[in-house]
């Protein structure tokens, strides 16, 4: 355990959430307090900012504005989807990172992201250790997908889940208003893990949710889907369906993939979207009924006006605790959450080895998923309800949220 | 002016809003207090409920639940899109309405809707008068489109506008987060009037809005759109565009109409949607850039969790004042709003002849619209800002809104 003195750097990575900036606020505000931390930097667009020696000088920001980050959605210092090359095959990018870290005497590195980012973080940590460069590397979790391994949940999930549950309740009221038959298919984000789509079950729990919920954990049987829609339509005249963007047939095909070739991003992930639209078209071809496809799209991950207070506070504390742990000498760890009890909700912060979180996806337990799209068991409701409690949003000015506006002063290049 | 004694009936009509139920609460709660009103009914699915003698007995509902209607989105007693036949050509439906009104001794009729509904209301009022049946008929305005004539604004608009402005601000943060080029095209409701799309200018006013805003009031020039997107993309790397679903080329064609035949509803209105999607495809065909289409869809009109307090209260008062006026002997009028001043915001309730509101669409003044999609003038901001002030939402239970659950006890058929 070494008492390191030097600069601290935060990078934000992957898709935005409502609370990734709350973690940034936690890291920045705590780091600015620490005597061993000589400067606090924000990497402009995550790891790309490090490679480019492109940093914001957080020490020049006002504390009040940093506090506003708690309620400002998305990634204030810029995020990135960028996969570093495998250091075993080509260490040049890692060598460049090391060079930059040395040049700016960065001794504390915090990376806020999902499992790809924790993998990056893990590799950087191992590379620095092997190179003999002392730097405490800490992961701060975030993902609306809630698929990070080894932690009870991840910041960002609860606020997105609260958005999904609330909006399904509102759509329930809207979509059931006429006396004509109608099918409404709503697409929720979630590539391989159905956590976010599962939040529709919270609206069901309130008696104002979808009739059918399909998660990617279970192979999607399109014939079962058609019969379930028809059965509900005959019984109630209205059907609301929640589908994850990532549902796949038992042959492993995404729904839009049955109709077009998929694009893939730098991580090799299929770029999805259009699942609800394709299903809606298929229903319209089969049944004479009004069908509507709705996509929550980017709205669901940045709806900070509907953030969960539990989520905002936990995200902030995760950032803060990452700094405190690093200053105490911890490295190579991610701040995680361990649930003590659900009712009353008690949770403790834990430090998990980075490699535990890296790249392994935590999915919704199969035993929580009811067959034939019927929803989730009470276990899921008990798990999720404590997370979405409380309101925490930006102060309103002109009736609209007052989001943080950072000065964004660049650190002079050395 | 006649002192009528009998039942009061409310119908909800047209597309839902976040506050149509707040007006219902105003009508119901005020009507239940009135001595001359012997029973309070809710028409099940608007005018169809009247034709079917299908009513809820509001007298059997709990006051507390009726108060919850103030913050419950959509149409609690069911809405309808149904065009009565022209009484000059075929008076049979109007005769049926008269028969039902007589049978249940309905002497007060309140119809809550947009301009089609005010037209229905106007025709019913005139037909009853001609038939010598005493019934005070009052319109209560509602429409997210804000296109009702002769009133400064309509309940429902402000809450939807607050949703649009807030969500554009959040999307601004989300859509500008990567250092890669991106075009985001967002489609907002509004068939012929661009009021709701104009609300994106409030996000612009906060410096966190779209770069381009296209309203249906101005013919859409697709070539100008392509150059404007390209110009903004070259300058900033990101472009966010707000388009009304109802934009048309100067030849009068809707954007999706260029690619498929449009369906029309019972009123002969074209069923739109897909405008953003089609424009996104056109951009993707021309420019090598990531393009995303987002539709606010039904979400924008039922997002009660983001309702404007001004709107909720005005909607409630409009219902209340309609009852008070009717009991005083007023008929054939719609409750409207007359603005006294914008800063500070002062407004008075007025009673407008139904025929003034009926069928005439109030559009965004052309002089408020900047050329080439550049947005709206300060006049619009001054007009709209006072309307979106304050929060007013349902109490949270389990972290989720507690919406009204009416008993919905049917009135026994006579």
In a domain, A376, yes or no: no
Q: Which residues pair with A214 in a beta bridge?
A: A243
Q: How many CB pairs under 8 A join A and B?
A: 163
In a domain, A219, yes or no: yes
In a domain, B377, yes or no: no
Of A162, A179, A304, the CB nearest to B45: A179
- B111 and B244 housed in the same domain: no
- Domain finish residue from B270, B286, B301: B301
Q: Is B298 close to A306, i.e. CB distance below 8 A?
A: no
Of B324, B339, B335, B316, nearest to B387 (Cα)? B339
- B164 and B296 housed in the same domain: yes
- Residues of A known to be catalytic: 145
Q: Is B400 close to A165, i.e. CB distance below 8 A?
A: yes
Q: Which 3 state secondary structure label does DSSP give A219? A: coil
DSSP annotation string for A312-328: HHHHHHHHHHHHHHHHT
Q: What is the pLDDT along chain A (414 residues), one digit of tens a residue?
A: 567 999 999 999 999 999 999 999 999 999 999 999 999 999 999 999 999 999 999 999 999 999 999 999 999 999 998 889 988 899 999 999 999 999 999 999 999 999 889 999 999 999 999 999 999 999 999 999 999 999 999 999 999 999 999 999 999 999 989 999 999 999 999 989 999 999 999 999 999 999 999 999 999 999 999 999 999 999 999 999 999 999 999 999 999 887 665 555 555 555 555 899 889 988 988 998 999 999 999 999 999 999 999 999 999 999 999 999 999 999 999 999 999 999 999 999 999 999 998 778 899 999 999 999 999 999 999 999 999 999 999 999 999 999 999 999 999 999
The distance of A373 to chain B (nearest Cα, Å) reads: 23
Of B162, B175, B303, the CB nearest to A170: B303
Mean pLDDT of chain B: 94
- Domains: count for chain B: 2
- For an interface test with A, which of B298, B312, B313, B397 has the most A Cβ atoms less than 10 Å from its Cβ? B298
Of B52, B30, B35, nearest to B43 (Cα)? B52
Rg over CA atoms, chain A = 22
Of A78, A162, A176, the CB nearest to B399: A162
Task: Give every strand in the sheet of A182-188, ordered side by side.
Answer: A212-214, A238-244, A182-188, A290-295
- B272 and B335 housed in the same domain: no
B chain contacts of residue A54, beta-carbon cutoff 8 Å: none
- A127 and A184 housed in the same domain: no
Residue of A nearest to B204 (CA): A400
Q: Report the distance separating Cα B350 and Cα B149, nearest Å.
A: 13
A chain contacts of residue B174, beta-carbon cutoff 8 Å: 16, 73-74, 298, 301-302
A chain contacts of residue B81, beta-carbon cutoff 8 Å: 178
pLDDT at residue A35 in the model: 97
- A164 and A215 housed in the same domain: yes
Model confidence, pTM: 0.96
A chain contacts of residue B74, beta-carbon cutoff 8 Å: 170, 173-174, 176-177
Residue of A nearest to B390 (CA): A399
Confidence of residue B360 (pLDDT cuts 50, 70, 90): confident
Residue of A nearest to B170 (CA): A302
- B19 and B47 housed in the same domain: yes
Of B174, B301, B390, the CB nearest to A74: B174
Contacts of B268 (CB under 8 A, 6+ apart): none
Of B78, B174, B396, the CB nearest to A302: B174
Q: Is A297 close to B294, i.e. CB distance below 8 A?
A: yes
Is the bond preceding residue B309 a cis peptide, omega within 30 degrees?
A: no
The distance of B78 to chain A (nearest Cα, Å) reads: 5
pLDDT at residue A32 in the model: 98
In the predicted model, what is the mean pLDDT of residues B248-268?
A: 74
In a domain, B118, yes or no: yes
Question: Is the predicted pLDDT of residue B242 greater than 80, yes or no?
Answer: yes
Task: Look up the ipTM and state it.
Answer: 0.96
- A138 and A11 housed in the same domain: yes
pLDDT at residue A257 in the model: 81
- A215 and A330 housed in the same domain: no
Cβ(B319)–Cβ(B110) below 8 Å: yes
Token pair for B138: 């009052």
- A337 and A280 housed in the same domain: no
Q: Is B385 close to A398, i.e. CB distance below 8 A?
A: yes
B chain contacts of residue A295, beta-carbon cutoff 8 Å: 294-295, 297
Residue of B nearest to A263 (CA): B290
Question: Is the predicted pLDDT of residue B68 greater than 60, yes or no?
Answer: yes
Q: Report the distance separating Cα A327 and Cα A36, nearest Å.
A: 7
- A67 and A132 housed in the same domain: yes
Q: Is B400 close to A390, i.e. CB distance below 8 A?
A: no
Q: How many CA atoms lie within 13 A of A198 on its CB side?
A: 31
In a domain, A294, yes or no: yes
Is the bond preceding residue B344 a cis peptide, omega within 30 degrees?
A: yes
- For an interface test with A, which of B43, B400, B402 has the most A Cβ atoms less than 10 Å from its Cβ? B400
- Phi, psi at B175, each rounded to 5°: -80, -10
Task: Give every strand in the sheet of B136-141, ordered side by side.
Answer: B55-57, B37-43, B6-12, B106-113, B136-141, B333-342, B345-353
In a domain, A186, yes or no: yes
* Catalytic residue of the set B116, B145, B152, B311: B145
Q: Is B179 close to A73, i.e. CB distance below 8 A?
A: no
Q: Report the distance separating Cα B235 and Cα B229, nearest Å.
A: 10
* Residue B285 burial by Cβ neighbours in a 10 Å radius (0-12, 13-18, 19+): exposed
- A202 and A223 housed in the same domain: yes
- Which structural domain range is residue A211 located in? 157-302
In a domain, B410, yes or no: no
* Residue A67 burial by Cβ neighbours in a 10 Å radius (0-12, 13-18, 19+): middle
Q: Is B170 close to A78, i.e. CB distance below 8 A?
A: no
pLDDT at residue B337 in the model: 98
Contacts of A195 (CB under 8 A, 6+ apart): A145, A146, A147, A157, A161, A364
Q: Report the distance separating Cα A196 and Cα A154, nearest Å.
A: 12
Q: Report the CATH number that the domain containing residue A252 is assigned in CATH.
A: 3.40.50.460
Q: Is B170 close to A308, i.e. CB distance below 8 A?
A: no
Q: Report the CATH number that the domain containing residue B10 is assigned in CATH.
A: 3.40.50.450
Of B48, B73, B179, the CB nearest to A78: B179
Mind listing the pLDDT tens digit for each residue in B273-300? 589 988 998 898 899 899 999 999 999 9
- Phi, psi at B412, each rounded to 5°: -60, 135
- Domain finish residue from B261, B280, B301: B301
- Domain finish residue from B257, B285, B301: B301
- B193 and B58 housed in the same domain: no
In a domain, A281, yes or no: yes
B chain contacts of residue A202, beta-carbon cutoff 8 Å: 398, 400
Q: Report the distance separating Cα B119 and Cα B16, nearest Å.
A: 18
């Amino acid at each position: 355990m070494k008492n390191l003195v030097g600069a601290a750097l935060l990078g934000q990575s992957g898709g935005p959430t409502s609370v990734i900036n709350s973690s940034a606020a936690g890291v920045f505000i705590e780091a600015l307090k620490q005597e061993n931390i000589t400067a606090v930097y924000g990497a402009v667009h995550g790891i790309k900012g490090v490679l480019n020696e492109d940093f914001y000088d957080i020490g020049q920001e006002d504390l009040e504005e940093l506090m506003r980050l708690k309620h400002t959605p998305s990634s204030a210092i810029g995020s990135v989807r960028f996969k570093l090359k495998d250091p075993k095959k080509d260490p040049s990018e890692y060598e460049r990172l090391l060079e930059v870290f040395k040049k700016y005497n960065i001794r504390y590195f915090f990376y806020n992201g999902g499992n790809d980012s924790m993998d990056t973080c893990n590799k950087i940590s191992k590379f620095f250790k092997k190179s003999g460069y002392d730097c405490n590397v800490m992961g701060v979790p975030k993902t609306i997908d809630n698929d990070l391994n080894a932690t009870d949940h991840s910041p960002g999930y609860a606020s997105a889940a609260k958005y999904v549950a609330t909006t399904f309740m509102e759509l329930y009221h809207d979509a059931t208003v006429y006396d004509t038959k109608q099918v409404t298919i709503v697409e929720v984000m979630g590539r391989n893990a159905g956590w976010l789509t599962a939040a529709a079950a919270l609206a069901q729990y309130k008696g104002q949710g979808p009739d059918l919920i399909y998660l990617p954990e279970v192979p999607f049987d399109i014939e079962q889907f058609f019969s379930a829609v028809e059965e509900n339509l005959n019984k109630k005249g209205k059907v609301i369906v929640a589908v994850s963007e990532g549902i796949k047939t038992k042959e492993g095909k995404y729904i839009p993939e049955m109709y077009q070739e998929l694009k893939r991003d730098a991580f090799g992930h299929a770029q999805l979207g259009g699942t609800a639209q394709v299903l809606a078209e298929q229903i319209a071809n089969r049944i004479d009924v009004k069908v509507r496809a709705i996509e929550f799209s980017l709205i669901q991950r940045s709806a900070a006006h509907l953030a969960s207070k539990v989520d905002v506070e936990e995200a902030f504390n995760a950032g803060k605790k990452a700094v405190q742990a690093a200053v105490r000498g911890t490295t190579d760890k991610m701040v995680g959450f361990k649930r003590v009890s659900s009712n009353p909700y008690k949770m403790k912060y834990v430090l998990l080895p980075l490699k535990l979180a890296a790249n392994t996806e935590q999915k919704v337990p199969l035993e929580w998923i009811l067959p034939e799209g019927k929803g989730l068991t009470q276990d899921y409701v008990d798990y999720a309800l404590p997370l979405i409690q409380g309101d925490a949003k930006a102060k309103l000015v002109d009736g609209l949220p007052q989001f943080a506006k950072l000065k964004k002063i660049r650190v002079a290049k050395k």
